[in-house]
Chain A
Amino acid sequence: MIAGPPTIVSHLVDTRSHDATGAPRSMGFFTDTSICIGCKACEVACKEWNHVPQDGLDWTGESYDNTGCIGANSWRHVAFIEQARPVRQDDGAHGDLRWLMASDVCKHCAKAGCLDVCPTGALMRTEFGTVVVQSDVCNGCGYCVSACPFGVIDRREEDGRVWKCTLCYDRLRGDMEPACAQACPTKSIQFGPVDELRRIADDRVRTLHRRGVSEARLYGADRDDGVGGFGAFFLLLDDPEVYGLPPTPVVPTRDLGRMWGAAAAAAVSMVAGVVVAALRSRA
């Protein structure tokens, strides 16, 4: 954990989801893992607000993480990574263990695979730019599960439908902060308009680099990446895969044109093959 000075708190954002005219804004999360303390208040607050069922009470033996991964019944997941390497703490003391803690969540991709492939229209883009499942429409086909490059959305066995983070759609409509962000005691989870969060994140990376934390990098803040940028992006202190995240995710539908092209070519070849085989064998 790299504690920051109080200056980060001065970056408080206007968290209202509507602008002065009442129009909705594109809202998201900036999860700054460098100040996460692994308290899991986000996991608890999410469950409480969204009535997410319990996800098993198991000891995994994987550091302090007994949640394991994001799933239908865990919409926030705090990862704990213990790395044996020399570290210098802010008070000048030296240690030999680096703790990484990071609260993962649905990325609310600008180009969302789950949304693209959903055959019923149950998955939709909200007025806040977030991606939400309409549980009264979802018929549990499970296509979105395989189309998500992050392994976020999943089917809940008890009711057959898919579930994931809604970025607290109900709270946003009432100009309230999502439950996880409000509960976060260190502002590791910051909620606000995505554009503003990107500016804050850039500042934060510069600050950390100046302090010698050269491994600080943003994950998902680039609009030109394979999913068009995340609505919920991160500041990480190691490679994404160390946190269980894909290094360069791409929305599967990017190649959809090519796929249909190949399918059309195959379909035509098939008809030609059948006709030729049938004609030649008549004689």
Chain B
Amino acid sequence: MSREMSMVPAAKPRTYYGHPVLKPPVWSPEVGVYLFTGGLAGGSAVLAATARAQGNDVLARRALGTALAGVAMSPALLIKDLGVPRRFHHMLRVVKVTSPMNLGTWILSGVGAALGIAAACDVLGIMPRVRRVAETGAAVLGPVLSTYTAVLLSDTAVPAWHGAQLELPFVFAASSAATAGAAATILTPQSHARPACAVALGGVVAEIAAAEAMKRRLGDAGDPYHGGESGRFGRVATALGALGAGALVLGRRRRPLAVAGAAAVLAASFCERWSIFRAGTASASDPRYTVDLQRGRLTA
């Protein structure tokens, strides 16, 4: 028997037969994937407009295409998640400022429409002024598309999400920029890809830093980010992100290395978002987080 054995029995958490206080999120994996595709679209819309302003049409067109692909996939994923998919349009029967999901649906619809118009004009080579307005509109709404999902998750009773409300938008914004830059790095010829490479590099470094800051400030409430599935994906995200950043730096003049680095950045961002998505389930399923946080026995 250890000499340092405590004379006081460990305080037993008082719960109802260990049942969770909260219901775990019912969202299907599609929502986790959407966090990625929506972010990719938002970031790419900004990158497209920036490249256009620089006169880099080669990059602009590819970023525009990526953004369009992202917003085209997103509604399908979100509708598949619904309990009653044929009622998807009920999301648009009201405008409700207290519901981030309602506003998000409007934002996604707006970005989708703007990108569709911009891409159509670009491909057909018609109405350059309309295209410019649509591209600018998508670039203004894009960052909102990239960050509203953080509000969506934070505006819940789930401790690991609600407690992360200040950092989560920065994680998602950085991840969004990183993926946009990485996708464009892969799709754009080397001669025009340098801005995309720089955005991917800056984005992934900011993403790792923001995610680290989030987990630190959360304290005990951030435990779900370190353990289980969420912890595994989080660690893979950090490792892949670091590798990807290194490859992007070394790959300035070596295209295969840059492409590999960009692919690692895309994978890292996906893992980061999956880690955050799954942490919500772990956090809601353990009554300790809900009760002890409210009792001030855990730090948050």
Contacts and interface: CB of A to CB of B under 8 A. Distances in A.
A60 B18 CA distance: 12
A58 interface: no
Interface stretch (B9-17, B216-224, B232-240, B264-272): B9-17
Nearest to B98: A116
Interface string B191-220: 000110111011100100000000000000
B219 to A, nearest CB: 18
Contacts of A137: 87, 90, 93
A69 interface: yes
Interface stretch (A41-49, A168-176, A202-210, A265-273): A265-273
A272 to B, nearest CB: 10
B14 A117 contact: no
Interface in B241-297: 280, 284, 287, 290-291, 294-295
Contacts of B280: 146
Given A139-B87, A160-B82, A241-B16, A282 B194 contact: yes
B22 interface: yes
Interface in B21-36: 21-23, 25-27
A278 B43 CA distance: 13
Contacts of A113: 156-157
Contacts of B174: 270, 273
Interface in B85-101: 85, 87-88, 90-91, 93-94, 96, 98-101
Interface string B174-197: 101100110000000000001101
Nearest to A60: B17
A122 B90 CA distance: 9
Contact of B143 (A161, A241, A270): A270
Given A139-B90, A142-B27, A259 B151 contact: yes
B170 interface: yes
Contacts of A159: 83-84
A242 B165 contact: no
A262 B198 contact: no
A119 B98 CA distance: 9
B46 A274 contact: yes
A32 interface: no
A278 B180 CA distance: 12
Interface stretch (B47-55, B113-121, B125-133): B47-55
Interface of A: 60, 62, 65, 68-69, 71, 79, 81, 113, 116-122, 137-143, 145-155, 159-162, 239, 241-249, 252-253, 255-256, 258-260, 262-271, 273-275, 277-282
Interface of B: 14-17, 19-23, 25-27, 43, 46-47, 50-51, 54, 56, 81-85, 87-88, 90-91, 93-94, 96, 98-102, 105, 139, 143-144, 146-148, 150-152, 154-158, 161-162, 165-170, 172-174, 176-177, 180-181, 194-195, 197-199, 201-203, 206, 280, 284, 287, 290-291, 294-295
The 10 closest A-B pairs by CB, nearest first: A140-B83, A160-B83, A244-B16, A139-B87, A267-B143, A266-B169, A119-B102, A278-B195, A281-B198, A270-B173
